Homo-oligomer: A and B are copies of this chain.
Amino acid sequence: MKIKPLHDRILVKRLEEEEKTESGIIIPDTAKEKPVMGKVIAVGDGRILENGQKQPLAVKEGDKILFGKYAGTEVKIKGEEYLIMREDDVLAIIEE
């Protein structure tokens, strides 16, 4: 069973606290309860521009990303919690 995000949306798995300290990213205390780091599980095939052109996304499956605290919609799949958000909510990609 696969989730295929639509257009410019992406499916993201939040990364728990410990996984984050190893890569050095700690989210400021104020954001403690809402970690803003995650891993990209699946991406849509791109944003449709006003001239009809399809603009592929810059993030890809497997990327570690930083995103806004309130980004996306929560969905549970087989007991696991995921987020579906637009690429525009992604702040940066973390390159190990």
Contact = CB atoms under 8 A, between A and B. Distances in A.
B91 A84 contact: yes
A5 B91 contact: yes
B48 A50 contact: no
A48 B47 CA distance: 11
A3 B66 contact: yes
A45 B48 CA distance: 16
Given A48-B55, A52-B49, A96-B1, A75 B6 contact: no
A77 B78 CA distance: 32
14 contacts: A3-B66, A3-B92, A3-B93, A6-B90, A25-B76, A26-B77, A28-B75, A28-B76, A36-B75, A45-B58, A48-B55, A51-B51, A52-B53, A75-B91
